[in-house]
Structure 1
Amino acid sequence: MQDEKKAADAIAREARRTAAAGVLFAVLWTALGFGLADVDVTIAGFPLWAVTSTVGVLVVGAVIAVYLAYAAEDMSLDERGEGASR
Structure 2
Amino acid sequence: MPLARAIIVEPDVLLCDEVTLALDVSVQANVLETLVRLVKECNLAVLFATHDLGVVPAIGDRVVVLKRGSIVEEGPPETYSLRHRTHIPASF
Q: Which has the larger radius of gyration?
A: 1
Q: Same fold (TM over 0.5)?
A: no
Report the TM-score when normalising by structure 2: 0.27
| Bigger proportion of residues as strand | 2
| Bigger proportion of residues as helix | 1
